[in-house]
Amino acid sequence: MTLTPETILNAHKSNLETLFGLTQKAFDGVEKLVELNVSASRAALSDAASHSQQLLGVKDAQQLLALQAQWFQPLAEKTAAYSRSLFDIANGTGAELTQAVEARAAEVQKDIGDLIDSTTKNAPAGTEAAVSVMKNAVSAANNAVESVQKAVKQASDMAQANLQAATKNVSEAVKASTQSN
């Protein structure tokens, strides 16, 4: 691979395509968030109206407490479901963006490797040490990027597991407290 105007133009086109693809994925994620929030708002408004109607029919404090207990468990479950959906959207969008960035990074790494190979083949005699240093630096940078990617994936997996455990614990605690009332 050599640096020609055509090569530079193709790289620029590829970068623009990647940028527009990432932008589209980000907008898709925002659109899903808006849909989730509109849906959750509608459900909350409907539930509030229904609950208000039920409150108007309360005759004594015992009935009020029972009605409140009935209302809190579904509310906690809906809140947990909303949180899971929110996390799923964010996680899915993040995964799509990460996948696209990693694919593009792999292409760039390959192109850089090809450029280095081409350059080293045409390097003047006596520059072997400099070429070796450059290859080692690129290799170290690639290893660092891979390590960071692995660490981010592990952190994401751990966050997802923690969210699922917390959601389960909250749901169980709400069920236990509404059953004891």
pLDDT at 1: 57
Domain that holds residue 68: 5-180
Instruction: Phi first, then psi: give them for residue 2, nearest 5 degrees.
Output: -125, 155
How many structural domains is the chain composed of? 1
| Tokens of residue 53, six digits | 């109607």
In the predicted model, is pLDDT for residue 158 greater than 70?
yes
Q: What are the angstrom distances between the C-alpha of 175 and each of 12, 170, 171, 180? A: 56, 9, 6, 9
User: For the segment 71-93, what is each residue's pLDDT rounded down to a tens digit?
Assistant: 887 888 888 889 889 988 988 89
Task: Quickly state the pLDDT bin for 179 (edges 50, 70, 90).
Answer: low
| Tokens of residue 97, six digits | 């963006």
| Tokens of residue 143, six digits | 């290893």
CA 53 from chain centre, in angstroms, equals 40
> What percent of the chain is modeled with pLDDT above 90?
17
**Contact between residue 170 and residue 80 where contact means Cβ atoms under 8 Å apart:** yes
